[in-house]
């Protein structure tokens, strides 16, 4: 029997590929606070309209975000699921993964005392 369903590990890989662009990650971070019109997203992210439109289309096709048009305004919002939890897990994991590499800037939303402590390997 030929089962056309995608194995879960392949679906996860496809999902993470969708998240694999800095503009898409930033859009998702911003949408955690609630729905936003495209003009506000563009102002907060600082990319051109074509670049933002392309990345929003990827997120929309994947089902991670939805778009609602009212007149000439398009408003985006998270479609559901635990995107904030996923982004939080990445925020907690990255300091450990990047320890000693100097690749990670501090999260500006957290006070210095809240920055995660990383244990050094023995």
| DSSP characters over 20-80 | -SHHHHHHHHHHTT--EEHHHHHHHHT--HHHHHHHHHHHHHHTSEEEEEETTEEEEEE-S
Max Cα–Cα distance, the chain, nearest Å: 60
Q: Output the pTM of the full model.
A: 0.77
Q: What pLDDT was estimated at residue 41?
A: 97
Whether pLDDT at 112 is above 70: no
Residue predicted with more confidence, 103 or 61: 61
Average pLDDT, integer, range 56-61: 97
Residues 6+ apart with CB under 8 A from 69: 75
What is each CA distance from 48 to 3, 23, 24, 80, in whole angstroms?
Answer: 42, 11, 14, 27
Q: What pLDDT was estimated at residue 119?
A: 39
The model's confidence at residue 94, banded by pLDDT at 50, 70 and 90, is confident
Average pLDDT, integer, range 50-77: 96
Rounded to whole angstroms, the Cα distance separating 68 from 23 reads: 20
Residue predicted with more confidence, 104 or 120: 104
Contact 76, 41 (CB under 8 A): yes
């Amino acid at each position: 029997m030929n089962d056309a369903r995608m194995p879960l590990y392949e679906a996860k890989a496809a999902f993470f590929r969708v998240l694999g662009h800095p503009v898409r990650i930033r859009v998702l971070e911003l949408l955690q606070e609630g729905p936003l019109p495209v003009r506000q997203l563009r102002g907060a992210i600082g990319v051109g309209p074509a670049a933002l439109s392309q990345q929003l289309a990827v997120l929309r096709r994947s089902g991670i975000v939805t778009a609602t048009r009212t007149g000439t305004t398009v408003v985006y919002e998270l479609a559901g699921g635990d995107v904030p939890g996923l982004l939080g897990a990445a925020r907690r994991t990255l300091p450990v993964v990047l320890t000693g590499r100097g690749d990670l800037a501090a999260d500006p939303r957290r006070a210095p005392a809240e920055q995660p402590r990383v244990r050094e390997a023995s």
